[in-house]
Structure 1
Amino acid sequence: MTEIRHIVFDIGKVLVHYDPDIPFSRLIPDATERKWFFDNVCTSAWNLEQDRGRTWEEAESLLIAEHPDHAENIRNFRRHWHEMAPHAYEDSVALLEGLIDDGHDVTLLTNWASDTFREARARFPFLEKPRGVTVSGDIGLIKPDRAIYDHHVASFGLDPAASLFIDDSQKNVDGAKAAGWQAVLFTDTGTLKADLERFGIAA
């Protein structure tokens, strides 16, 4: 096994909680209606295009043209975004900071819209502690596309085989492996500590 010299964290659902249901359980109280809205209007695929760099203005106008009766809640998705990311996971953040304090090279690689990431960075100061971050919305590339992993490697001078990627999405973990990285699926901090120890990293 190649010695790990670089540790790369995803952010959403690994370090910071994310759940659109938090504001929308209030905005659309009926669970069936809310599910329909997320399945048919503000879908994951629609939101992913903002992670790829599409502006919210364009995203909203496209969707409102298709679903004019839902215009207010389409706008509410961005308007209430701050409620969707209410807190960090303290145990994950403590692990991240411990790795940095121990001298490990830690960077971040996230699918995140540019403007909402800037908000998150202002709210969660620990996001400044790693050596750097690749934000999908800033570069027009998203996980699990090979290009975003290659971009991160080039930006931060990483050796892919000596890089360990941590993400809560199996397809993003698989994407990292296809790009020549080591990678593990994040489920909880205890499991992550065991994974790191398996790679020879005390956490």
Structure 2
Amino acid sequence: MKIKNIIFDFGGVLMDWNPRYFFKDYFKDDEKMEYFLENIAQDEWNIEQDRGRSLSEGTDIQVKKFPEWEKEIRAFYDNWTVMLKSDIPQNVEILRKLKNTDYQLFGLTNWSEETFPYALENYDFFQIFEGKIVVSGTEKLIKPDPKIWHVLLERYNIHAEESVFIDDNSKNIEMAKTLGFMTIHVTPETNLELELAGLGVKI
């Protein structure tokens, strides 16, 4: 089957986001920082904002649960832009190269509807997608729920078996495989151009 579409996750693939970029200086104590991120402002909590819960509601819920951490919890989204450190240049370079090919390019991201506009405004490479981006917070669906892939497929009238899906999360990769996508699991060591070439993508 000929590859026609290349679908990018953003965080960990094109964008380097990590709450530690802010909280390292905030706490100046790695042990305390890790405790906070694993037990108070944990991934499971942040994911609900990516699923569509408002930042203010998510913050208030956690403050009620952990009132002694109120200052730190409120600091999370107040300083979210510091956590978005930069793009991942080697992968963005591949995206820019793909712009000049016949492949259709899409984004499928777990991202809060409230914070995603900041990335759109501050990183020009997002314009390469020409608006063909499915954001979990807008859809109120989140990977690895298969429904969010179906939103992408149906909205843009594309087929999984003609598409490569690129993500840094192994659960998302496994789900995409079951849905018929070719996949690339990105790690810090991944050479994305080589991986795409291995699937027959010509850049």
TM-score between both structures, scaled by the size of structure 1: 0.96
CA shift at 1:187, angstroms? 2.1
Determine the C-alpha separation between the residues in 2 that align with 1:39 and 1:88: 25
* Counterparts in 2 of 1:143 and 1:190: CA distance versus 1, 3 Å: closer
Give the residue type in structure 1 aligned to 2:79.
Answer: H
Q: CA RMSD in A?
A: 1.2
Q: Does 1:85 align with 2:84?
A: yes
Give the residue type in structure 1 aligned to 2:178.
Answer: A
Give the residue type in structure 1 aligned to 2:138.
Answer: D
Q: Equivalent residue of 2:134, what SS?
A: strand
Q: Does 1:163 align with 2:167?
A: no
**Partner of residue 112, structure 1:** 111
**Partner of residue 182, structure 1:** 182
**Partner of residue 5, structure 1:** 4
**Partner of residue 173, structure 1:** 173
CA shift at 1:188, angstroms? 4.7
Q: Equivalent residue of 2:102, what SS?
A: coil
**Partner of residue 134, structure 2:** 134
**Partner of residue 44, structure 2:** 45
CA shift at 1:190, angstroms? 5.5
Determine the C-alpha separation between the residues in 2 that align with 1:179 and 1:172: 11
CA shift at 1:97, angstroms? 1.3
Q: Equivalent residue of 1:86, what SS?
A: strand
CA shift at 1:186, angstroms? 1.1
Structure 1: which 5+ residue stretches go unaligned?
none
Give the residue type in structure 2 aligned to 1:36.
Answer: Y
Q: Contact (CA 8 Å) 1:160, 1:181: kept in 2 or not?
A: yes
**Partner of residue 192, structure 2:** 192
Q: Deviations over 1:114-164 (max 9, x none)?
A: 111011111111112114100000000001111011111111111111110
* Counterparts in 2 of 1:150 and 1:180: CA distance versus 1, 3 Å: same
Determine the C-alpha separation between the residues in 2 that align with 1:158 and 1:189: 30
State the percentage of identical aligned residues: 30
Structure 2: which 5+ residue stretches go unaligned?
none
Between the two proteins, the alignment pairs up a number of residues equal to 202
Give the residue type in structure 1 aligned to 2:86.
Answer: H
Q: Contact (CA 8 Å) 1:91, 1:189: kept in 2 or not?
A: no
Give the residue type in structure 1 aligned to 2:17.
Answer: Y
TM-score between both structures, scaled by the size of structure 2: 0.96
Q: Contact (CA 8 Å) 2:2, 2:162: kept in 1 or not?
A: yes
* Counterparts in 2 of 1:190 and 1:144: CA distance versus 1, 3 Å: closer
Determine the C-alpha separation between the residues in 2 that align with 1:92 and 1:191: 8
Report which stretch shifted further, 70-79 or 179-188: 179-188
Q: Contact (CA 8 Å) 2:55, 2:114: kept in 1 or not?
A: no
Q: Equivalent residue of 2:108, what SS?
A: strand
CA shift at 1:84, angstroms? 0.7
**Partner of residue 145, structure 1:** 145
Give the residue type in structure 2 aligned to 1:137.
Answer: G
